[in-house]
């Protein structure tokens, strides 16, 4: 099946902008993600315009949807049940909604949570939809502890290409009709506690700049009594000027250590002013 390989390397903690242009492929991939989640004892959530069709396809695929819905493990709702719960798109309320759903899934004992959001509602002149880019960047904070997987499906037949490009910048990862999700070329960000900060892997560049910005800002905002934010880039395969600027700009918020730098990363950071940035320490991983 054409859709099955597009998202099969996703893990809990990933947040992906998935551009689609084929209804059959979209349904195949959504069913695969949700069904695999049910098997893995994850809470599975679909929010989009076709919950009945998704449930019917899951049933054909052998998922015990009646039991899963009855237990609360599986939820399939229209956008009015999540993104548009108040009749409009309230970005802050929607963020709070997903944080609450995550906390509830943990309390209920699920090993993880998978959310597939069909974002086509945003093309219907919904009040508040102009803040979708901000929301997509901020929702990354839900994923950094590695408990939730998020897939945002954007039909490129419906969205303006320039808008879709801006929305993609807010996601650490991407997939498309001819582009399966690849963790090696996407950005993965995980929160760390000892030391406090973030761990980065994959590639950080212009394509995920807004996502990285939101996560670094959140790390500084949540540090409480922690004196230093440590960003471990040991597993980062590539970073460009945009990523370097995000990290250096964040260092203005307080003490920061960037550890595990490759020789190329060191040169990039020092070229952009790491040596003259107060409170910033940069160390090599070699």
Q: Which strand (E) or helix (H) includes residue 37?
A: helix 23-39
CATH code at 144?
3.40.50.300
Q: What is the pLDDT of residues 37-81, one digit of tens each?
A: 999 999 999 999 999 999 999 999 999 999 999 999 999 999 999
Task: Give domain status of residue 10, yes or no.
Answer: no
C-alpha to C-alpha distances, 105 to 13, 72, 102, 277, nearest whole angstrom: 15, 9, 5, 42
Sign of CA dihedral 164, 167, 169, 175: negative
Residue 4 pLDDT exceeds 60: no
What interhelical angle do 263-271 and 241-250 show, nearest 10?
Answer: 70
Average pLDDT over residues 151-156: 96
Asked if 123 and 70 sit in the same domain, the reply is yes
Asked if 27 and 159 sit in the same domain, the reply is yes
Contact 75, 46 (CB under 8 A): yes
Q: Where are the beta strands (DSSP E) in the chain?
A: 15-20, 42-47, 74-77, 112-118, 148-155, 173-175, 187-193, 196-204, 229-239, 256-261, 280-284
Q: What is the pLDDT of residues 269-283, one digit of tens each?
A: 999 999 999 999 999
Residue 102 pLDDT exceeds 80: yes
Average pLDDT in the chain:
94
Asked if 63 and 137 sit in the same domain, the reply is yes
How sure is the predictor about 222, in pLDDT bands with cuts at 50, 70 and 90?
confident
C-alpha to C-alpha distances, 125 to 51, 52, 66, 129, 162, nearest whole angstrom: 21, 24, 35, 7, 17
Contact 126, 84 (CB under 8 A): yes
What interhelical angle do 241-250 and 209-221 show, nearest 10?
Answer: 20
Contact 78, 113 (CB under 8 A): no
Tokens of 228: 């230093």
How sure is the predictor about 86, in pLDDT bands with cuts at 50, 70 and 90?
confident
Asked if 169 and 209 sit in the same domain, the reply is no
Residue 202's DSSP bridge partners are: 187, 236
Q: Of 130, 148, 175, which closes a domain?
A: 175
Range of the domain at 203: 187-284
Q: How many CB atoms lie within 10 A of CB 3?
A: 20
What interhelical angle do 23-39 and 51-60 show, nearest 10?
Answer: 60
Q: What is the pLDDT of residues 160-202, one digit of tens each?
A: 999 999 999 999 999 998 789 999 999 999 999 999 999 999 9
| Nearest CA-CA partner of 238 in 192, 206, 286, 213 | 206
Asked if 26 and 118 sit in the same domain, the reply is yes
CATH code at 270?
3.30.750.24
Task: Give domain status of residue 269, yes or no.
Answer: yes
How sure is the predictor about 99, in pLDDT bands with cuts at 50, 70 and 90?
very high
Sign of CA dihedral 121, 126, 130, 136: negative
Q: What is the pLDDT of residue 286?
A: 64
How sure is the predictor about 226, in pLDDT bands with cuts at 50, 70 and 90?
confident
Structurally, the chain folds into a number of domains equal to 2
Asked if 21 and 135 sit in the same domain, the reply is yes
How sure is the predictor about 1, in pLDDT bands with cuts at 50, 70 and 90?
very low
- Rounded CA gap, 59 and 76, in Å? 13
Q: Where are the alpha helices (DSSP H) in 181-230?
A: 209-221
Average pLDDT over residues 94-112: 97
Asked if 85 and 200 sit in the same domain, the reply is no
How sure is the predictor about 223, in pLDDT bands with cuts at 50, 70 and 90?
confident
Q: Of 154, 175, 196, which closes a domain?
A: 175
Task: Give domain status of residue 3, yes or no.
Answer: no
List, in order, residues 6 or more apart from 107 with CB less than 8 Å away: none
Residue 225 pLDDT exceeds 90: no
Q: Which of 107-111, 135-139, 225-229, 260-264 has the lowest mean pLDDT?
A: 225-229
Q: What is the pLDDT of residue 122?
A: 96
Q: How many CB atoms lie within 10 A of CB 62?
A: 8
Average pLDDT over residues 86-115: 96
């Amino acid at each position: 099946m054409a859709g099955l390989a597009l998202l099969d390397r996703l893990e809990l903690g990933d947040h992906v902008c998935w551009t689609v242009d084929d209804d059959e492929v979209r349904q195949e991939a959504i069913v695969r993600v949700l069904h695999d989640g049910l098997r893995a004892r994850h809470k599975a959530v679909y929010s989009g315009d076709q919950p009945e069709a998704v449930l019917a396809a899951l049933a054909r695929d052998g998922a015990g949807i009646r039991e899963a819905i009855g237990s609360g493990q599986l939820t399939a709702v229209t956008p009015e049940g999540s993104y548009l719960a108040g009749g409009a798109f309230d970005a802050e309320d929607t963020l709070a909604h997903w944080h609450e759903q995550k906390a509830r899934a943990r309390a209920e004992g699920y090993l993880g949570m998978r959310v597939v959001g069909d974002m086509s509602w945003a093309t219907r002149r919904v009040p508040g939809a102009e803040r979708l880019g901000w929301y997509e960047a901020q929702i990354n904070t839900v994923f950094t502890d590695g408990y939730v997987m998020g897939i945002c499906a954007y039909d490129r037949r419906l969205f303006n290409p320039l808008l879709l490009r801006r929305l993609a910048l807010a996601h650490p990862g991407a997939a498309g009709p001819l582009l399966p999700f690849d963790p090696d070329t996407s950005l993965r960000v995980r929160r760390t506690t000892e030391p406090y900060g973030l761990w980065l892997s994959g590639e950080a560049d212009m394509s995920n700049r807004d996502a990285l910005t939101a996560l670094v800002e959140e790390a500084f905002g949540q540090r409480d009594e922690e004196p230093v934010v440590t960003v471990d880039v040991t597993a980062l395969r590539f970073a460009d000027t945009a990523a370097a600027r995000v990290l250096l700009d964040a260092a203005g918020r307080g003490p920061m250590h960037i550890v595990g730098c490759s020789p190329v990363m060191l040169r990039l950071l020092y070229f952009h002013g790491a040596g003259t940035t107060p409170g910033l320490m940069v160390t090599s991983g070699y």
